[in-house]
Amino acid sequence: MERIPILRMGRFLLVTIQVDMHDQLALTLQDDLTERIVADRAKGVLIDISSLDVVDSFIGRMISNIAGMSRVLDAQTVVVGMRPAVAITLVELGLDLAGVRTALNVEKGMALLQGSTVA
Amino acid sequence: MKATAGNPLVEVLRRHEAGILADWLKEQARSGTRGDAAQDNEMRTTSREFLAAINDGLAGDDVDGTGPRWARAMEILSALSASRATQGYSPSETATFVFSLKQPVFARLRSEIADAATLAEAFWTATRLIDRLGLFTTEAYQRTREEVIARQQRELLELSTPVVELWKDILALPLIGTLDSSRTQVVMESLLEKIVASGASIAIIDITGVPTVDTLVAQHLMKTVAAARLMGADCIISGIRPQIAQTIVHLGVDLSQVTTKASLADAFLVALARSGSRIEAGQAEAA
């Protein structure tokens, strides 16, 4: 079964979404990610969507859900690498991902997480 | 309309091509077409070609200006209208090119045809043809003008939305003019592209040049802010004039999610503080 890999980088987890999301894949990702946050005692989750060309309300909701679940488990979520076209689409769809932090790329996202979890 | 074997108009035009051309040029000069010697020369060439093209067209079955045989004539007219439209001629000046052909043609018809019925028919054919060509000229003129207007609109759209880099990590977007949805789209795209290109984390949207802010404009602003946030950049809105602050509150627009400042200078200071930079007095060679 296809899965989205979850990489561990210190106290943070890195998820790179490179394939088209569908329901089953999203559910698997939510399962895997929550398990890993608990197992690794992760403090932050980076979701890299820089290879996504197309988003819809489903992916938008999925990202919000993941952020919500992570927050409950005391890990912060940062979405990184969103493309301009994707950002415009999400805004036009009325999804502004409130409560999800964002950064331009993985490097900045990592800096953001480090800055906020040290304090 | 089919041409009979001896259509009088065709006959007369063919026989008197040179004479008609000379009269026509005189007519054009008289009706006040401006121009110097070079333009006169060009006019003569165009007129001669056009008359030849009309003769070509008339050689076919369709004498009313439709059909493939008229392609050459239409092409000449299109080119002429286009060049005149860009040179700033008025529509009537442009259409006069065709309509001034009437007088010489009619004069020739009158002197050549004795029979009243034939003459009337020839007049009718000629009038239909020239009117059609004249209308075509005006339409081509209009089309060129519309292209010019559309191009200017596009250029205006691009010109009016520069994204400038104020400092490392800080972008400024001075908005000038009314924000409608198509402009918002352009503004949003250029801002986001610039964020990607420069890696900036703060964008200042300055609305000093936006004359009015209603609910729609505010909504467009909020969309831009939300899109920039999704790309990881914070937005500050600056340049809010007193009247606009009042309007925003009266309309019940909620700008509480965004940092707002009265002037671009204040916004810049906030941005500098957030990005960890600062300017000191006497620091001449600023990064």
Chain A residues inside the 8 Å CB shell of B232? 80, 82, 102-105, 108-109
Q: CATH 1.10.490.130: does it fit domain B8-155?
A: yes
* Strand spans (E) along chain B: 164-167, 170-176, 202-209, 234-238, 259-260
Which helix (H) or strand (E) segment holds residue B110: the answer is: helix B102-112
Task: Please state, as a whole number, how many other Cβ atoms lie within 10 Å of the Cβ of residue B218.
Answer: 20
Residue entry with tokens 């914070």: B234
Asked if B236 contacts B271 with a C-beta cutoff of 8 angstroms, the reply is: yes
**pTM over the 0.80 mark:** no
Q: What is the DSSP string of B21-86?
A: HHHHHHHHHHTT----HHHHHHHHHHHHHHHHHHHHHHHSSB-SS-SGGGHHHHHHHHHHHHHHHH
ipTM of the complex: 0.79
Chain A residues inside the 8 Å CB shell of B223? 91-92
How far apart are alpha carbons B236 and B115 in whole angstroms?
85
pLDDT per residue as tens digits for the range B105-119: 888 888 888 888 888
Architecture of domain B164-275: 2-Layer Sandwich (3.30)
Nearest to A87 among B185, B192, B201 (CB): B192
Q: Which domains does chain A have, with CATH numbers?
A: 6-118 (3.30.750.24)
What is the band of B218 on the pLDDT scale with cuts at 50, 70, 90? Answer: confident
- pLDDT over 50 (residue B1): no
Domain ranges of chain B: 8-155, 164-275
Chain B residues inside the 8 Å CB shell of A103? 232
- pLDDT over 60 (residue B34): no
Q: Cβ contact (<8 Å) for B227 and A88?
A: yes
How far apart are alpha carbons B2 and A118 in whole angstroms?
91
Query: What are the structure tokens assigned to A29, written together?
Result: 């990702």
Q: Cβ contact (<8 Å) for B226 and A79?
A: no
Chain B residues inside the 8 Å CB shell of A97? 230
Task: Please state, as a whole number, how many other Cβ atoms lie within 10 Å of the Cβ of residue B23.
Answer: 18
Average pLDDT over residues B262-278: 90
Nearest CA in chain A to B195: A104
3-state secondary structure of B226: helix
Average pLDDT over residues A95-110: 88
Residue B107 main-chain phi, psi, to 5 deg:
-60, -45
Q: Which residues of A make CB contacts under 8 Å with B?
A: 79-80, 82-84, 86-88, 90-92, 96-97, 102-105, 108-109
